């Protein structure tokens, strides 16, 4: 076995200054990246909620086609209120944030068994983010505008 010389032993390891420099750089990078990740996650949550609203509208359209009768849709406390006819009502609960606001213009949309709907626009607002979903009257499908 070879013995280490004194010059090899002096070069082994990191100095305190090098370790502090690396820690400082990691701290600066975390300070820059942290807020960006928070904004990215908020955007993902907003897109998820828009997708959920659109999926529920598609489900109402399909329900009208399969049942063979008109379904009238309105809003009640940020949830979809469905009038199925013959005094039947159903509430489709949307899993939206507490600070979200949902608006429907006009206040009533009618889905027909022929896969058509009355023209309408549904707006979802959360904080400064806003998305408008329009109902295509010929296909009754939701379209993001």
Note whether residue 97 is domain-resident.
Answer: yes
Structural domain count of the chain: 1
pLDDT of residue 74: 95
CA 132-134-139 angle, to 5 degrees, is 155
Note whether residue 102 is domain-resident.
Answer: yes
pLDDT of residue 8: 61
pLDDT of residue 60: 94
CATH for 78: 3.55.40.10
Domain that holds residue 97: 47-144
Task: Tell me the pTM.
Answer: 0.75
Torsion of CA 25, 31, 35, 41, to 10 degrees: 50
Question: What is the pLDDT tens value at each position of the chain, 145 positions in all?
Answer: 566 566 665 667 889 999 999 999 999 998 888 888 888 888 888 999 999 999 999 999 999 999 999 999 999 998 999 998 888 899 999 888 888 899 999 999 999 999 999 999 999 998 889 999 999 999 999 999 7
CB 122 within 8 A of CB 103: yes
pLDDT of residue 37: 86
Which tokens in the block code for residue 64? 């009208």
Note whether residue 20 is domain-resident.
Answer: no
CB 121 within 8 A of CB 145: yes
| 21/111 Cα distance (integer angstroms) | 64
What residues contact residue 138 under an 8 Å CB cut-off, 6+ apart?
116
């Amino acid at each position: 076995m070879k013995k280490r010389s004194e010059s090899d032993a002096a070069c082994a390891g990191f100095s305190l200054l090098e370790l502090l420099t690396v820690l400082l750089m990691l701290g600066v990078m975390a300070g820059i990246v942290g807020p960006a990740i928070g904004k990215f996650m908020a955007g993902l949550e907003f897109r998820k909620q828009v997708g959920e609203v659109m999926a529920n509208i598609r489900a109402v359209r399909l329900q009208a086609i399969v049942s063979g009768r008109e379904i009238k849709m309105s809003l009640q406390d940020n949830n979809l209120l469905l009038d199925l006819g013959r005094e039947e009502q159903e509430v489709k609960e949307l899993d939206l944030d507490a600070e979200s606001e949902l608006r429907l213009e006009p206040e009533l949309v009618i889905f027909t068994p022929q896969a058509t709907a009355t023209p309408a626009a549904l707006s979802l607002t959360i904080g400064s983010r806003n998305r408008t979903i329009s109902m295509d009257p010929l296909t009754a499908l939701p379209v993001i505008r």
